[in-house]
Amino acid sequence: MVLGEGDRDQAFINALCCDRQINDLAVGFVGGNSNFGQYLEGISALPKFSQCKSILLVSDNDESAQEAFDTIREQLQEIDFPLPSKPLEMAKKRDYPSLAVMMLPYPTPNPDSRGALETMLIPAMKDSHPTQAACLETMLACAGVSNWSKKSSQDKAFVRCLISSVWENDPMHGLAFCFAPQKNLIPVSHTCFDEVAQILKSFVAWSDSAEKSWSSWHDKNEKIET
């Protein structure tokens, strides 16, 4: 099971899984990064929950990767669920599904780890619509958006503007609906998503293994397919 913060995360992961033919994951969203704990507690009461063997939580770094991850850890601790000590570490506990957390953007652009899902989408959107992207960068700089303190806000503004400038049928088209391949708004086949796709594709196998960290599992088992 993969749980994101919102419906946009769910739509992105579903689209990526469909594109890369990853079929063994159920994808949902919890309604905000402060709802992971309550959501997990709630689904643990569902009749089929025992069939869920592993859970991947997907959340945004926003302005502080550490703070964002700690927010999730606190919630997991509160509900007594398996507790990873860092992102992409598999935590296991008896009578619970294995659990790992992936923070976005992934992979983290150095040195700035700030951002959100939208941060990851921008390279693919720029490659897909380079003309509009170039204009928008100028426009947003002119409008002062590039001076905003919050990186995730800057990136969200860029994504919103690009969608509006490309999708004439509905400039207000919600991000969750922009991943359909025929729309060519956000091509999930882009290589910038390869590493996330690799994690999703290997998640079940990784969770079944004894390897705690993704990097050690990955080093032992796979090369990134490009």
Binding site for another protein (CB under 8 A): 38-39, 41-47, 79
Crossing angle (nearest 10°) for helices 151-166 and 130-143: 130
Q: Which is nearer to another protein, 42 or 171 (CB)?
A: 42
Q: What are phi and psi of 126, to 5 degrees?
A: -65, -45
Q: Which is nearer to another protein, 79 or 143 (CB)?
A: 79
Angle, nearest 10°, between helix axes 65-78 and 36-43?
A: 30
What does the alpha-carbon distance between residue 100 and residue 87 come to, in Å, rounded to a whole number? 7
What angle separates helix 117-128 from helix 7-19, to the nearest 10 degrees? Answer: 50
Least Å distance, CB 1 to another protein, is 14
- In the complex with another protein, the residue whose CB is nearer, 7 or 41, is 41
The Cα 162–Cα 203 span in angstroms is: 32
Q: How far is the CB of 91 from another protein (least distance, A)?
A: 19
Q: Shortest approach of another protein to residue 33 CB, angstroms?
A: 16
Residue 164, burial from CB neighbour count under 10 angstroms (0-12, 13-18, 19+):
middle
CA–CA separation, 25 vs 56, rounded Å?
10
Distance (Å, rounded) from C-alpha 226 to C-alpha 224? 6
Nearer to another protein, 40 or 178 (CB): 40
Element of type H or E holding 19: helix 7-19
Closer to another protein by CB, 53 or 86: give it. Answer: 53
In the bound state with another protein, the residue whose beta carbon lies nearer, of 82 and 123, is 82
What is the DSSP secondary-structure string of 119-144?
HHHHHHHHHHSHHHHHHHHHHHHHHT
Q: In the complex, what is the shortest distance from the CB of residue 51 to another protein, in angstroms, rounded to a whole number?
A: 9
| Nearest-approach distance from CB 38 to another protein, in angstroms | 5
For another protein, the closer CB: 38 or 153: 38
| Residue recorded with tokens 């998640």 | 203
Distance in Å, CB of 80 to another protein, minimum? 10
Rounded to a whole number of angstroms, the minimum distance from the CB of residue 55 to another protein is 15
